[in-house]
Homo-oligomer: A and B are copies of this chain.
Amino acid sequence: MERGLVVPQGLIAQGRGEAFDYLLGEKTTPPALKAERAAAAYLVLAERPVISVNGNVAALTANEVVKLAKSIPARIEVNLFYRTEPRVRKVARLLSLAGAKDVLGTKPDARIPGLDSKRALCSHEGIYSADAVLVPLEDGDRTQALVKMEKVVLAVDLNPMSRTSLAATVSIVDELSRALANIARFVPAMRRNRAAAERVVRSFNNDENLGDVHQYLHVSLRKLRRQT
């Protein structure tokens, strides 16, 4: 926040995420890993995959985002919920420093239908034309709008009941740095074997997987309670 990457509302959102992470035992659950594998498959199979980056994502995981984008390969687009041009430039600069080439989003030339003014802005070459978008820590309205555009939407959100988690094609309920590292770990195998990636995508059921996350949440709560 002091460097101008994150807004105060971003800190509150971070806190909400921390509470869910704590309740899930601060580790990747089996259903989260399944979702991460499915996300890797979707990203590798996509023709125009894009990773959407906001202030919190950049502050937490700029390096991991760039590494994942290179391995897929995918484009990176800066996409802020509370958009100001100076903050867009700061986030883009941080990603460039982390090794990203051609970060999109600083010169938006398209709009996501159904969102108001600044929230709708995006890059035609990036999110607008993408067939799969990875949206870490995304707002519910934007996730729903991207789904309505018939894109594959891969969300990372620690609240399994958020509108983002409910709307996404693949809902990864995991802490962001673990999620990105796990997706990146699955990418090489998916790239080597597209048929396997297609099988992963076909066999993944997001509703069922979110149900499994809930079961883990109850189990984890009981475990935390016993430790007290």
If A1-B8, A8-B1 touch, does A224 touch B16 (CB 8 Å cutoff)? Answer: no
User: Nearest chain B CB to A200's CB is how many angstroms away?
Assistant: 25
Size of the A side of the interface (Cβ < 8 Å), in residues, is 26
User: Nearest chain B CB to A10's CB is how many angstroms away?
Assistant: 9
Q: Which of A9-42 contact B (CB under 8 A)?
A: 11-20, 22-23
Question: Is A54 in contact with chain B by the CB < 8 A criterion?
Answer: no
Question: Is A119 in contact with chain B by the CB < 8 A criterion?
Answer: no
Interface stretch of the complex, out of A62-70, A84-92, A125-133, A214-222: A214-222
With A11-B12, A14-B15, A161-B225 given, can you name 9 additional A-B contacts, CB distance below 8 Å?
Answer: A11-B15, A13-B15, A15-B18, A16-B16, A19-B19, A19-B20, A218-B218, A218-B221, A221-B221
A15 is contacted by which of B17, B221, B227 (Cβ under 8 Å)? B17
User: Nearest chain B CB to A223's CB is how many angstroms away?
Assistant: 10
Contacts of A2 in B (CB 8 A): 8
Across chains A and B, which 10 residue pairs bring their CB atoms closest together, nearest first? A15-B15, A19-B19, A11-B11, A12-B15, A16-B19, A15-B16, A11-B12, A161-B228, A214-B225, A161-B224
Q: Which of A112-156 contact B (CB under 8 A)?
A: none
Docked Cα-Cα span, A203 to B203, in Å, equals: 55
Docked Cα-Cα span, A17 to B22, in Å, equals: 12
